[in-house]
Structure 1
């Protein structure tokens, strides 16, 4: 069985640590980015099975990264993208959907909810 790879981009180090540990325990291989520009660099350099982006990040927001990804020639352009956000307004969800976000998780959330979503999107759940 091949290990599924995930890029996790969030500017909050403690949340990144928690999610990396949680997802690694489930058998996923993770790469981390601390802002939108780093996420973009990872997506240009490596191939992933899934991306988890925080909405509000320095440099580029998660939505901007997803918009760029969907319009790029990157081998990652069609992979599932989960957006983590404290923005629960309908207009924010519409903007995310228009950008090509696959799944939208509002903070605070349970790591189990994230594992469930990741499993479904990667066909493991």
Structure 2
């Protein structure tokens, strides 16, 4: 399973999703805002980031832009998590560099499928 960084400012959402992902074998790291998320990406090198887009200190759009602009972290897949469900919101998240997009409330089976697909894409191939 993977090391996943969950960047979410709502403590209840963070705790619930952390428990659900951990039960499926993932190691889950957490951050409560975009600045803390970027620091954890740099120090802990997660294999995937779940990024809430409406965050204090540094929002998810800007945190993702910075993560993707850094050559050392640009390859880490980011899934945007947001209550904003309009097509324009999806396009904005993808335009900021997110690799996928999911709406809240989270439907765990759908999110797990997206996580699996992105992890499979970034897994080193065996020679």
Ranges in structure 1 where 5+ consecutive residues have no aligned partner: none
Any unmatched runs of 5+ in structure 2?
122-127
In structure 2, the partner of 1:36 is: 34
Over aligned residues, Cα RMSD in angstroms? 1.5
Q: Deviations over 1:44-94 (max 9, x none)?
A: 2121110000010101111111100111133x2211100010112222222
* TM-score when normalising by structure 2: 0.88
SS in 1 for 2:120: coil
Output the TM-score relative to the length of structure 1.
0.89
Q: Give every structure 1 segment of 4 or more consecutive aligned residues whose post-TM-superposition deviation is greater than 3 Å.
A: none
TM-fit CA distance, 1:120? 1.7
Residue 123 of structure 1 and its aligned partner are, at CA, apart by 2.1
Distance (Å, rounded) in 1 between the aligned partners of 2:119 and 2:96: 20
> Separation in 1 of the partners of 2:113 and 2:86?
23
Q: How many residues align?
A: 121
Partner Cα separation in structure 2 for residue 43 and residue 26 of structure 1 = 22
